[in-house]
């Protein structure tokens, strides 16, 4: 008999989400983290009355399964909703001026952000034939459907600022799956949007943007405390080998080597770490994983007196298109998003530098990072004086780049894993980088594993597995 049904390697949100869903199904789970803390890059930090986020700042959700986890984990009462003033306004830097970015097509057609030619091109979208290859890039897809102006002024800053990727290289199907799906199903993006609006049921889940009291770390801590999940930190896995009843896993710890037998193993680590763990068993799979590259990122948090900021900060923040040639990709107004992020009479601004567009910026020394950012932000936001609080978070490998034939590679990884039954790879380079995506993917993987455990139990009556909840039967 194995020591556990499922061993999860990696303590980030991918591993924690999968563990939570498995625990709800009554499956015994161990989670091994290489560090002394759980949560991966997610970390909320208090400094001088300001609450900053090392990576993910919020959860923008439109998936019912995510709402289910939040509710059943007891997190509903700990949610902090996006403030009303930040609910419907985002800004875009355009010709050196911050302008409100329309959220709907009707607003785009009257906005000064787009030229007459650009607006006419948008109106042509329903009449553009569906097409494009599977490995079409974001730039190719958007130019074909919406025109170059939409690409440069809206999609490029979103892809570069939110995903740290390059639209000229990023896979459209992997990076913008909802848009490409609309074209595939309805023939055009416009037709798809209109159809969804007409057919939307009153019970359909609406988009909800929120964080938690104490920051995103509250999500991590809550999942980690789930009954049925045994978490062991400072366990660096060195070897995974097949066994008669599943897998044998060996890790180094401060107390020496530790081994464990599991029916299923989930590798929820960075791609290069996963590649090293599978290289002895499947060199081809390891090569696919090593092909996944990451973008570096520096996150600069600045706390200022409200009187030292001339802009109304009446929105979520702004993105900077590449044609604006700024040192950063975007700036979030965290204290406008959530009122508990800064003390009374203060504001918290979070700036993102680096990514694929300007990777070297992530490695600038602290003083240059500050100087370049303040020089650019001062005329845009009407800044006066120096910040009273500064914090810098750096990520050498912040986000995976969904570049090249990413969908084909992901399918190939899935196919290759068929040769290693009971071994699973699930991390943010598969199926989306957001916390929302990680929770949803965790549920999908947990359902597959519980189904396989049930089948195994039927074939081997002497193998004892905990009863599965009815929703997974």
Convert the pLDDT of each residue in 111-160 to its tens digit: 899 999 999 999 999 999 998 888 899 999 999 999 999 999 999 999 99
Q: Beta strand 236-243 with 246-253: parallel, antiparallel or unpaired?
A: antiparallel
Task: Kindly tell me if the per-residue pLDDT of 463 is higher than 90.
Answer: no
pLDDT at 205: 59
Question: Are residues 157 and 92 in contact, defined by beta-carbon separation less than 8 angstroms?
Answer: yes
pLDDT at 207: 83
pLDDT at 455: 75
The Cα 279–Cα 287 span in angstroms is 8
Q: Categorize the per-residue pLDDT at 102 as very low, low, confident or very high, splitting at 50, 70 and 90.
A: confident
The Cα 233–Cα 53 span in angstroms is 22
How crowded is residue 389: how many other Cβ atoms within 10 Å of its Cβ? 17
pLDDT at 1: 57
Average pLDDT over residues 170-185: 94
Query: Which residues of the chain does CATH 3.90.660.20 include?
Result: 44-86+293-400
The Cα 55–Cα 332 span in angstroms is 12
Query: How would you class 422 by CB atoms within 10 Å of its CB: exposed for 0-12, middle for 13-18, buried for 19 or more?
Result: buried
The Cα 162–Cα 434 span in angstroms is 10
The Cα 92–Cα 98 span in angstroms is 6
4-41+216-292+403-472 fold: FAD/NAD(P)-binding domain (3.50.50)
pLDDT at 204: 53
Average pLDDT over residues 26-53: 96
Query: Which residues of the chain does CATH 3.50.50.60 include?
Result: 4-41+216-292+403-472
Average pLDDT over residues 275-293: 97
Domain 103-128+135-199, classified CATH 1.10.3110.10, yes or no: yes
Task: Kindly tell me if the per-residue pLDDT of 23 is higher than 90.
Answer: yes
Average pLDDT over residues 79-94: 86
Tokens of 107: 């607003």
pLDDT at 104: 73
CATH number for the domain running over 44-86+293-400: 3.90.660.20
Half-sphere exposure of 134 (CA within 13 A, CB side): 7
Task: Kindly tell me if the per-residue pLDDT of 30 is higher than 80.
Answer: yes
Among 109-113, 323-327, 450-454, the least confident range: 109-113
Task: Kindly tell me if the per-residue pLDDT of 330 is higher than 90.
Answer: yes
Question: Are residues 247 and 32 in contact, defined by beta-carbon separation less than 8 angstroms?
Answer: no
pLDDT at 462: 44
DSSP string for 376-411? HHHHHHTB-S--SEEEEEEEEEEEE--BSSHHHHHH
Q: Categorize the per-residue pLDDT at 181 as very low, low, confident or very high, splitting at 50, 70 and 90.
A: very high
pLDDT at 456: 66
Q: pLDDT per residue over 425-439, tens digit each?
A: 999 999 999 999 999
Average pLDDT, the chain: 92
The Cα 454–Cα 187 span in angstroms is 41
pLDDT at 110: 85
Among 94-103, 200-209, 233-242, 307-316, the least confident range: 200-209
Among 137-146, 186-195, 395-404, the least confident range: 186-195
pLDDT at 307: 96
Query: Which residues of the chain does CATH 1.10.3110.10 include?
Result: 103-128+135-199
Task: Kindly tell me if the per-residue pLDDT of 466 is higher than 60.
Answer: no
Give me the percent of the chain exceeding a pLDDT of 70: 93
Average pLDDT over residues 270-298: 97
Tokens of 407: 């969908």
Q: Minimal CA–CA distance to 38: which of 25, 19, 24?
A: 19
Which pTM value belongs to this model?
0.92
């Amino acid at each position: 008999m194995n020591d556990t049904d499922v061993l999860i390697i990696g303590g980030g949100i991918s591993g924690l989400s999968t563990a939570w869903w498995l625990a709800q199904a009554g499956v015994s789970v161990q989670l091994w983290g290489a560090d002394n803390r759980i949560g991966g890059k997610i970390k909320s930090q208090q400094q001088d009355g300001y609450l900053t986020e090392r990576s993910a700042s919020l959860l923008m959700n439109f998936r019912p399964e995510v709402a289910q986890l939040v509710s059943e984990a007891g997190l509903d009462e700990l949610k902090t909703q996006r403030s009303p003033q930040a609910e419907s306004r985002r800004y875009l830097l355009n010709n050196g001026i911050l302008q409100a970015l329309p959220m709907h097509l009707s607003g785009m057609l009257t906005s000064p952000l787009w030229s007459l030619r650009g607006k006419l091109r948008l109106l042509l979208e329903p009449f553009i034939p569906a097409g494009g290859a599977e490995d079409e890039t974001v730039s190719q897809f958007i130019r074909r459907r919406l025109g170059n102006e939409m690409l440069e002024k809206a999609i490029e800053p979103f892809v570069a600022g939110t995903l740290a990727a390059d639209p000229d290289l990023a896979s459209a199907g992997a990076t913008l799956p909802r848009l490409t799906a609309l074209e595939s199903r309805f023939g055009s993006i416009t037709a798809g949007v209109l159809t969804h609006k007409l057919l939307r049921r009153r019970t359909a889940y609406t988009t909800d943007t929120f964080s938690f009291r104490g920051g995103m770390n509250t999500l991590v801590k809550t999942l980690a405390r789930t009954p049925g999940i045994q978490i062991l930190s400072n366990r660096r896995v060195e070897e995974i080998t097949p066994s008669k009843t599943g897998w044998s896993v060996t890790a180094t710890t401060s107390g020496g080597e530790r081994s464990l037998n599991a029916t299923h193993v989930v590798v929820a680590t960075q791609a290069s770490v996963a590649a090293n763990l599978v290289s002895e068993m499947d060199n081809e799979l390891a090569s696919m994983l090593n092909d996944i590259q990451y973008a570096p990122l520096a996150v600069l948090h600045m706390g200022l007196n409200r009187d030292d900021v001339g802009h109304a900060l009446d929105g979520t923040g702004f993105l900077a298109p590449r044609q604006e040639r700024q040192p950063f990709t975007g700036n979030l107004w965290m204290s406008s998003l959530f009122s508990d992020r800064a003390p009374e009479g203060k504001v918290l601004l979070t700036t993102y530098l680096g990514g694929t567009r300007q990777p070297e910026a992530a490695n600038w020394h602290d003083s240059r990072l500050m100087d370049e950012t303040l020089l650019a932000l001062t005329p845009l936001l009407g800044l006066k004086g120096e910040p009273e609080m500064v914090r810098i978070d750096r990520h050498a490998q912040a986000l995976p780049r969904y570049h090249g034939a990413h969908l084909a590679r992901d399918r190939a990884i899935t196919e290759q894993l068929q040769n290693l039954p009971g071994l699973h790879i699930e991390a943010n380079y598969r199926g989306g980088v957001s916390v929302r995506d990680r929770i949803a993917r965790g549920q999908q993987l947990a359902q597959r594993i519980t189904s396989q455990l049930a089948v195994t139990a039927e074939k081997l009556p002497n193998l004892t597995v905990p009863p599965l909840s009815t929703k997974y039967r």
